[in-house]
Amino acid sequence: MEQESSYKERKVITIGVVSELTGLTERQIRYYEERKLIFPERSPRGNRKYSFMDVEQLIDIANKREEGVQTFEIRQDMLKQKQKEDARKVRKEMMRGQINARFGVQKE
C-alpha cells in the first residue's frame, strides 16, 4: 500500500500564489527552477504546480541569496543534504532488517 503524502508535499499551488506567498517574482521562481533548486510538477496543460514544502524551500533560497550565497553553492548544499538523508534512510532500513532478523519477524 502506497503511503499518502502529507498536505505539505502535495503539488497544488500555482506560480502566481507562490509569488504572493514568497514575495518572489514569477521570473525569479522560474530561474530557481532552471538552476535546479526547485522542482515543480506540471499540470496536463503545462502549468507549474508547487507544494507548501516548495514554498518553504523558495523562502530559504531567497534568504540565502540575500546573504550573498550563489545558486551553485545552494545547489551543492542541497545535494549534500540529500546524500545525508539517503544515507540515514539506508542505515535505518539496515537496522530495521537486523532487528527483524534477530527477533524472527518476517516481512510481508
pLDDT value, residue 103: 85
Task: For residue 48, give the amino acid letter.
Answer: R
State the pTM of this model.
0.75
Q: Print burial letters for 64-84: b (CB count within 10 Å at least 16), e (below 16).
A: bbeeeeebeebeeebeeeeee
- Tens digits of pLDDT across the chain (108 residues): 345 578 899 999 999 999 999 999 999 999 999 999 999 999 999 999 999 999 999 999 999 999 999 999 999 999 999 999 999 999 999 998 888 888 887 765
pLDDT value, residue 2: 44
pLDDT value, residue 4: 59
pLDDT value, residue 81: 94
- Please answer whether residues 58 and 13 qualify as being in contact, where contact means their C-beta atoms are separated by less than 8 angstroms: no
- Please answer whether residues 22 and 58 qualify as being in contact, where contact means their C-beta atoms are separated by less than 8 angstroms: yes
pLDDT value, residue 85: 93
Q: Which helix (H) or strand (E) holds 62?
A: helix 52-66
